[in-house]
A and B are shown apart, each in its own frame.
Chain A
Amino acid sequence: MNIFRLAGDMTHLASVLVLLLKIHTIKSCAGVSLKTQELYAIVFATRYLDIFTSFYSIYNTLMKLIFLGSSFSIVWYMRYHKTVRRTYDREQDTFRHWFLVLPCLLLALLIHEKFTFLEVLWTFSLYLEAVAILPQLVLLQRTRNIDNLTGQYVFLLGGYRGFYILNWIYRYLTEPHFVHWITWIAGLVQTLLYADFFYYYFQSWKNNKKLQLPA
């Protein structure tokens, strides 16, 4: 464990807690893409299958349970909670996210480190996580004005992968044979997808005005 990875995990944890806080306290999920939340639930479900077979540390297992629990409960809130589900803008959140799942699955079947069931699903979860934010970014473009909590959620989510890139550089430099091109490229693509959001987020923060994304 290194400081970059810990910072990344804490930022990731903060992003899901911000979202859960928003949904639980104001009983609203306006501006949140259910599609992205469903993709994240699939990402965690396919990535943490090894929770039953291999144990790394209490921290590792605890965080996996937290991420699984939070992502599935956010999807539950947005789909079934009587008050929250009414605030979900279904008409705007129209990204065909299943078109993201299939290519990621095919790619995982083609490019992976080992051709085993767990490894292919794990690789699939990496590819899917890289693109999972797209429905949310599209929704933010459409709804234009972003409330603070949703903006913070996307910002923290992008930041966590940025910290992970520093972690991979650190591990590459300090651990012999730590080379995982698939993870690195997927993580880099994911972070780049946030680039323009980060740009507008900092612009709004610097000029201290409401975050507006160009149409």
Chain B
Amino acid sequence: EETDAAHDEL
């Protein structure tokens, strides 16, 4: 699914 950019950080 579309991975929201908010959680692509560690």
Q: Which residues of A contact B (CB under 8 A)?
A: 5, 9, 12, 50, 54-56, 60, 63-64, 67, 113, 122, 164, 167, 171, 175, 178, 180, 183
Contact = CB atoms under 8 A, between A and B. Distances in A.
B10 to A, nearest CB: 5
Nearest to A183: B6
Interface residues of B, number: 8
Interface of B: 1, 3, 5-10
A56 B9 CA distance: 9
A105 B7 CA distance: 19
A175 B10 contact: no
B4 to A, nearest CB: 9
Q: Which secondary structure characterizes the binding site on chain A?
A: helix
B3 A54 contact: yes
